[in-house]
Amino acid sequence: MWRRPGLEPELKEDFPGLRPGNNLRSTPIMVEGRLFLTNLVGLLRAVDPSNGETLWSQAPFEPTIEEARGLSPRGVDLWTGGEQQRVFLARDNYLYSVDAPSGELDGDFGDQGRVSLRLPGPLAGDFAVTAGPIVVGDVVVVTGFTGGAGDGGSKKEATPEDVRGYDVRTGRRLWTFHVVPRPGEPGNETWGDGSWEYSGDLGSWCCLSADEELGYVYAQISAPTAAYYGGHRPGDNLYSNSLVALNARTGERIWHFQMVRHDVWEWDTVGPATVGEITIDGKRIDAVMQPSKTGFLYVFDRRTGEPVWPIEERAVPGSRVPGERLSPTQPFPTKPPPFDRQGFVESDLIDFTPELRARALELVKPFRLGPIFTPPGLMDDEQGKIGTLTNPGWWGTGNWHTGAFDPETGVYYAVSHTWPSVYSLKQPEGSDATLGYVVGSDSPDVPTLDGLPIVKPPYGRITAIDLHRGEHVWMAANGDRRATPGGRRAAGAAGDEDAAVHR
């Protein structure tokens, strides 16, 4: 047994003013008896897995505290070509190529071993990558986020967080997939009123997946800028909230599916897509499984994008917010069933005792309730409501930690939680705001009862789903204590990567 510090003491000694965060998200990889991982500031390490000892450490590109600072990404990937082995790391504004045996930067890659990921244009921001790069053939694919307007801000303008492919040997950018389609590209018409010109975000918060035999990379695209009001961006807003299959060599879109149209809930397609083989009625299917914040698991033929089971268009509630134009329908998978609670109605309320239930009913009277896809409401609408209380909330029932698949049994395991939110909109304050409505910092929280969640347990669960049949096998409560349901996402609040996960 061994353990390592999240940040090495010698790095603290070299940079005494270094103040790293406490969010270590990196998933290590092990190749030929070496473990590759990043530390709290995102610098790469090679470790002996038998004893935890450091084999080599990546030094800051320049010996300054600015270069030492960084964000820990969610992973790294390795490329082998002949006698060469390179580990690829996306850290803040750069993609690095590191020699796997020695830890030295590859001088043939970009500028002395790295290429800039900063996006051009007047709305560009620092490219803070959270999704690790993925290598498919001789291409390393990168996506992330710019740290721009974000989900809860008061501006509608942001930089699109495009998916990009780079040559593994030279660092030359080979292609760019525009997550907000430009004129002449399919999907541009889904951004009405010219909103494609200034809309952005839409990065991939989590983990890219790939089928190396097909040469496809699967990108999970997040919610659009200012995810709670979309009056300025009429239409379905491709490729937000979508799973997109791309040719890793060319960047060509092979197929896509949009899970949430014109998102106003921040229900990103965020969890990692999993590739695997399943058998339906004796027919083998090369599948890709995509969990969603909504609690649906979408299962597709990963070659064609055809749903394994029918996905139905169903009518959903409309919005009462001035200027908002929602999609009248949303896609509902017929199989498998959702892996967590959806929507918020009176039967979801706590009922441990008649007294608790009566108090809970009183507490939710000021809120608009309803099924999944009930949209945000105004803080003070014409019916006297103060917003919409619904589940899932902005964190979702599933997120980047959600899924695992057993290829021997064909069972998918979904980790989820019941975590509602209040969506309460008001007109923004401040002269620099460009949105019509925002979730205000004074919007109400999800009510509680003497510290108890207002919804019935369980608050976390693990669901086993048989993907040969599209049915649940079992569901188990997950957690050793009660959850504290999340409240609002205030203007300017941190993104998903900083949110606390409750059990």
Residue bearing tokens 């090369």: 286
Share of the chain above pLDDT 70, in %: 92
Q: Where in the chain is the domain with CATH 2.140.10.10?
A: 117-498
Q: Of 50, 164, 20, 30, which Cα lies nearest the Cα of 100? A: 30
- Residues 240 and 256: their CA atoms lie apart, in Å, by 11
User: Is the confidence at residue 430, as pLDDT, over 70?
Assistant: yes
pLDDT score recorded for residue 71: 81
| Band (497; pLDDT cuts 50, 70, 90) | very low
Beta strand extents in 383-429 (DSSP E only)? 388-390, 403-406, 411-417, 421-426
Which residues in 232-370 belong to E strands, given as ranges? 242-247, 253-258, 274-280, 283-291, 297-301, 311-315, 329-333
CATH fold label, 1-78+93-116: Lipocalin (2.40.128)
Q: Which residue has the tokens 């580990």?
A: 87
**The overall pTM is greater than 0.85:** yes
- CA 82 – CA 36 distance, rounded (Å): 20
Buried b (16+ CB within 10 A) or exposed e, 228-267: bbbbbbbbbbbbbbbbbbbbbbebebbbbbbbbbbbbbbb
Between residues 12 and 151, the one the model is more confident about: 12
Q: Where in the chain is the domain with CATH 2.40.128?
A: 1-78+93-116
Among 66-80, 110-124, 425-439, the range scoring the smallest mean pLDDT is: 110-124
> Confidence band (pLDDT; 50, 70, 90) for 145?
low
d(CA 72, CA 129): 9
**Top-tier CATH class for 117-498:** mainly beta
pLDDT at 245 over 70: yes
Q: What is the pLDDT of residue 229?
A: 95
pLDDT digits (tens, 9 = 90+) for 308-330: 999 999 999 999 999 999 999 99
Per-residue confidence band for 70, with pLDDT thresholds at 50, 70 and 90: confident
C-alpha dist (Å) from residue 461 to 414, 456, 482, 503 = 8, 13, 12, 9
Has residue 123 got a pLDDT over 80?
no
**pLDDT given for residue 150 in this prediction:** 55
**pLDDT on residue 489:** 46
Q: Output 172 or 385, whichever has higher pLDDT.
A: 172
> Which has the higher per-residue pLDDT, 65 or 487?
65
pLDDT of residue 432: 86
Query: Does the structure show a pLDDT above 60 at 243?
Result: yes
- State the Cα–Cα distance between residues 349 and 347, nearest whole angstrom: 5
pLDDT at 493: 36
488 has pLDDT over 60 = no
Tokens of 496: 């998903």
Identify the three-state secondary structure at position 4.
Answer: coil
Question: For residue 190, what are the CA distances in angstroms to 46, 52, 182, 240?
Answer: 45, 51, 11, 10
The confidence score (pLDDT) of residue 440 equals: 79
What is the residue-averaged pLDDT of the chain? 90
Q: Which residues have CB under 8 Å from 234's CB, separation 6+?
A: 192, 193, 195, 262, 325
